[in-house]
Amino acid sequence: MPRLPLPLQAALREAVAARFGQPLRYPSHCDALELELQQNAATAGRRLSPSTLRRFFGLVDKEGGYHLHTLDTLARYAGHADFAAFGQSVSGLAMQETYAPGAATDIPELLAMEQLAYPERLLLGYFLGRITRPAQPGGAAAPLALQLATHPAGQEFYVESFVDLAHLTGAFGEVLTTYLQHKHTPEAQLFGNAALFLAEFLAEDEPAWRRRLAVVRALPVPPEVHAFPQGRRAFAEIVTAWHDAPDHVVPADLLAHIRQEAAAVPRTQVPQAPLPAFYNLFPAGYHFFVAEGLFLTGQFPALLDWLSFTNSEFPELARLETNVFDQLMRAFQAVAELRTGLISARAPHLHLLFNLETNSWLLDYFQVHIWLVELHFAVGTDAAEETRLRSHIKEFAALYGMPFFERVAGQIGTA
């Protein structure tokens, strides 16, 4: 769990204490706060254990950081939308006071400071990602976001870790374009160009994604290149083959090549300490993007086969705790089983598939995947739910400039 900079933790302690009505100095105060959090409308019944609260308020000596679930809950109790919104309100003060006088105060330089451990840099990058997002979809990239894209530490801990897919056709696309101009390693070029291909494909800008695909295909891919950009390249090949096939079926030889490539993709080295599901810290990243491509193009027999292969290759997926990629693959599998006749539309309890409250920046984009999953199960069984979901998907597609998702929704239930 990432450690929280001390001034920021102190500010959140003070904000919670102000709402609670007094400083939290005794274990009994934490017991009372636990009950209040469960009953408070702003925290929606979220539970934090007394031991977590005692540790947060310094009543017990224990090293370690805090789950984003803990920070979001306390920030909501204090009157903010979430921890990122709280951090935005105090970020200038917190960042200045965290470092000794005379230390670098330029924000990209803060990410590079050796005093920060790897998880702390990830959390700071997450923080910066949240506070630099445009207020509305389609807004321009913030100057700080573009500055981070030019700095080595900003590139690693902001651009490559906080991947803002919801704004890929807008502000984050600008960030990636700047990033590509300043980081020329094969991995960075594949990462940035494959992500921009996704933006152009979802926008259904065929001339642009055709040009981008040629760039992606021409890039060198050394053996050590991370699984995520390689997975995005495989995604590009799957959706292109689907787009170009008269029957919209991905060729078997391409799937065989992808499976062969999967064996050579390096395994992601995940830090031992528990961390939120940051974009590039999922052990089966290549496999996720292949599954996403097969799901969005309706290749359900192939998807079922691929997920069986994935689960056999990565048995640790069964033990992951609240990971957006893992749980989405479980949801994809439920749809594949439905569409291949292995289960009925009423079989899965969909609310059990999604426990993703700590991944809100990813869910801005993957929420539409969840709606598509739910739509598969609503078609023919719940007309009102089907109408609601189609409306949500249409609105998302228009708002974020991604009409491809509306096309996918339109094909569900037509076969």
pLDDT tens digits along 348-391: 555 445 554 445 556 688 889 999 999 999 998 999 999 999 99
Q: Are residues 268 and 398 in the same domain?
A: yes
Is residue 18 included in any domain, yes or no? yes
Whether 195 contacts 176, CB under 8 Å: yes
Is residue 106 included in any domain, yes or no? no
**Whether residue 29 has pLDDT greater than 90:** no
Residue corresponding to tokens 């977590």: 52
Q: Are residues 318 and 218 in the same domain?
A: yes
Whether 408 contacts 371, CB under 8 Å: no
Q: Are residues 215 and 333 in the same domain?
A: yes
Is residue 137 included in any domain, yes or no? no
Is residue 155 included in any domain, yes or no? no
Which tens digits make up the pLDDT trace of 260-283?
A: 999 999 988 765 555 555 667 788
Q: Are residues 347 and 230 in the same domain?
A: yes
Query: Considering its fold, how many domains does the chain have in total?
Result: 2
Q: Are residues 225 and 353 in the same domain?
A: yes
Is residue 159 included in any domain, yes or no? no
Full domain range(s) for residue 25: 6-98
Instruction: Give the pLDDT band of residue 228 (cuts 50, 70, 90).
Output: very high
Q: Are residues 247 and 347 in the same domain?
A: yes
Is residue 193 included in any domain, yes or no? yes
Q: Are residues 56 and 189 in the same domain?
A: no
pLDDT of residue 395: 96
Q: Are residues 288 and 386 in the same domain?
A: yes
The residue out of 48, 63, 98 marking a domain boundary is: 98
Q: Are residues 295 and 398 in the same domain?
A: yes
pLDDT of residue 75: 84
Q: Are residues 94 and 190 in the same domain?
A: no
- Mean pLDDT, rounded, of the chain: 84
For residues 180-194, give the mean pLDDT. 97
Q: Which of 39-43, 76-80, 233-237, 312-316 has the lowest mean pLDDT?
A: 39-43
Question: Distance between CA 355 and CA 353 in Å, rounded?
Answer: 7
Which tens digits make up the pLDDT trace of 115-130?
A: 777 777 887 888 888 8
For residues 247-254, give the mean pLDDT. 95
Is residue 206 included in any domain, yes or no? yes
**Whether residue 110 has pLDDT greater than 80:** no
Whether 113 contacts 103, CB under 8 Å: yes
Whether 148 contacts 128, CB under 8 Å: yes
Is residue 188 included in any domain, yes or no? yes
The residue out of 74, 98, 122 marking a domain boundary is: 98
pTM: 0.76
For residues 207-226, give the mean pLDDT. 96
**Whether residue 1 has pLDDT greater than 80:** no
Instruction: Give the pLDDT band of residue 22 (cuts 50, 70, 90).
Output: confident
Which tens digits make up the pLDDT trace of 162-178?
A: 889 999 999 999 999 99
Name which residue leads in pLDDT, 21 or 179: 179
The residue out of 71, 98, 125 marking a domain boundary is: 98
- The 3-state secondary structure of the chain reads CCCCCHHHHHHHHHHHHHHHCCCCCCHHHHHHHHHHHHHCHHHCCCCCCHHHHHHHCCCCCCCCCCCHHHHHHHHHHCCCCCHHHHHHHHHHHHHHHHCCCCCCCCHHHHHHCCCCCHHHHHHHHHHHHHHHCCCCCCCCCCHHHHHHCCCHHHHHHHHCCCCCHHHCCCHHHHHHHHHHHHCCCHHHHHHHHHHHHHHHHHCCCHHHHHHHHHHHHHCCCCCCCCHHHHHHHHHHHHHHHHHHCCCCCCCHHHHHHHHHHHHHCCCCCCCCCCCCCCCCCCCCHHHHHHHHHHHHCCCHHHHHHHHHHHHHHCHHHHHCCCCHHHHHHHHHHHHHHHHCCCCCCCCCCHHHCCCCCCCHHHHHHHHHHHHHHHHHHHCCCCHHHHHHHHHHHHHHHHHCCCCHHHHHHHHCCCC
pLDDT of residue 100: 38
Q: Are residues 299 and 195 in the same domain?
A: yes
Q: Are residues 193 and 316 in the same domain?
A: yes
